[in-house]
Amino acid sequence: MNLVDCYKKVRQRTEYICSPLQTEDYVVQPVVDVSPPKWHIGHTTWFFETFILKPYFMGYQEFNPNYNYVFNSYYETVGNRVIRTDRGNLSRPTVNDIYQYRAYVDEAMEKFLSTEPATDVKELLILGFNHEEQHQELLLTDIKYILGHNPLFPPYSSSYVSPKMITAAIDFIKVNEGIYEIGFTGEGFCFDNELNRHKVYLNAYEISPNLVTNAEYLEFINSGGYHDFRYWHAEGWDWVKINKVESPLYWHLIDEEWHNYTFHGLELLNPNNPVCHISYFEAYAYASWKGLRLPTEFEWEAAATQFSWGKSWEWTESSYLPYPGFAKAPGAIGEYNGKFMVNQKVLRGASEATSPGHSRITYRNFFQTNLRWQFTGIRLAR
């Protein structure tokens, strides 16, 4: 597939994700971590305008100079920006304005890509494709939070299909002690945080071939797991008490029956589905209650070819840190990952919201320990 077709495919998928939305859905920001959908479609457009068109397309006229302030996310190198908590206050530019912006940039990009770009520009383009795919997943998780916190629990789309997870009949997978190679290798794209490939020594361990299910997690709830400090980190226990957490996000106990919000609306909880939308705190507490633990990211990667993954991002016991030899790229692109390598845990795998072709075994996702609006689950180790 040529670059123009790749560009169109990525951009069209973003608009397809937004197609079930009403105009009012685009503007809501219920909490700081959730961005309004219209901000995502503007920000992903801004990325191509800022890093491709303005520096490399001779004669390009910026669509609106104010948009750099509105749609810059965290790039200090590029200038001032609207603080994250204020994205929901942006009634202007309108949804229609932002779609006009997308169309304007798309037209310019297609003209720019009519000739083969230089190698360094091509690398930026491919980063832009992957950046937009990341925001496609964020769009889905943010849309779910917005609609899932509407008192009417409206469905996102009746045509949405949640992929099934293959369940293995075996117990735990045994992995021998030894030296294992970790990190990206070969041709194709990877993010800088997947480099450099390096060796790690792992003690012998066992890892579950399956994710923890709703039924299994219910046992933790029913045994009083959210009311027993023994299973929690001190910070996690404070989080439970302050936020009065009693269950995973989107779970609702109605007439003594557990329901959860899905993209189809509020439904009876399926006990066989993997538990989802939980924090690291909850994942750790559940593992502790079971007398087990979470795998490290290295244990996960070393064993990942032996089990099915991709339904939910999986919390690991690893802090988000640079690999040996990690180096930030110069300029704004160097702000992409490196400056976030503190106070976060690594998640491995992918989720049902991850864009097709975006996942790989070496992919390192990362979030703060209290967050759970992403599609996050548990795989146990011992």
Q: Angle CA(197)–CA(201)–CA(203) in degrees, nearest 5?
A: 140
Question: Considering only CA atoms, which of 116, 102, 73 is closest in space to residue 15?
Answer: 102
Q: Which amino acid is at 336?
A: Y
Predicted local confidence at residue 66, as pLDDT? 92
Q: Quote the distance between the C-alpha of residue 168 and its chain's center.
A: 25
Taking only Cα atoms into account, the Rg of the chain, rounded to an integer number of angstroms, comes to: 22
- Tens digit of each residue's pLDDT (9 = 90 or more) over 102-155: 999 999 999 999 999 999 999 999 999 999 999 999 999 999 999 999 999 999
H helices of the chain, in order, are 3-18, 37-48, 54-56, 67-71, 95-112, 119-148, 214-222, 234-243, 280-289, 297-303
Is 165's pLDDT higher than 90?
A: no
Start-to-end C-alpha separation, the chain: 44
- Distance, in Å, from the CA atom of 143 to the CA atom of 30, rounded to the nearest integer, reads 11
- pLDDT above 90 as % of the chain: 87
Strand order in the sheet with 257-262: 251-254, 257-262, 265-268
Predicted local confidence at residue 169, as pLDDT? 83
Quick one: pLDDT band at residue 332, thresholds 50, 70, 90?
low
> Do 28 and 88 form a contact (C-beta atoms < 8 A)?
yes
Is 79's pLDDT higher than 80?
A: no
Predicted local confidence at residue 62, as pLDDT? 97
Predicted local confidence at residue 76, as pLDDT? 65
Q: Which amino acid is at 24?
A: E
Average pLDDT, the chain: 95
Q: Which amino acid is at 57?
A: F
Q: Is the dihedral of CA 187, 193, 195, 198 positive or negative?
A: negative
- Tens digit of each residue's pLDDT (9 = 90 or more) over 43-61: 999 999 999 999 999 999 9
105-109: long-range contacts, CB 8 A cutoff, minimum separation 24: 105/45, 105/48, 105/49, 105/53, 105/63, 106/7, 106/8, 106/11, 108/49, 108/53, 108/57, 108/60, 109/7, 109/48, 109/52, 109/53
Decide which of 304 and 82 is more confident. Answer: 304
Average confidence (pLDDT) over 257-270: 98
> Do 233 and 345 form a contact (C-beta atoms < 8 A)?
no
Average confidence (pLDDT) over 201-229: 98
Is 81's pLDDT higher than 80?
A: no
What predicted TM-score, i.e. pTM, was given to this entire model? 0.95
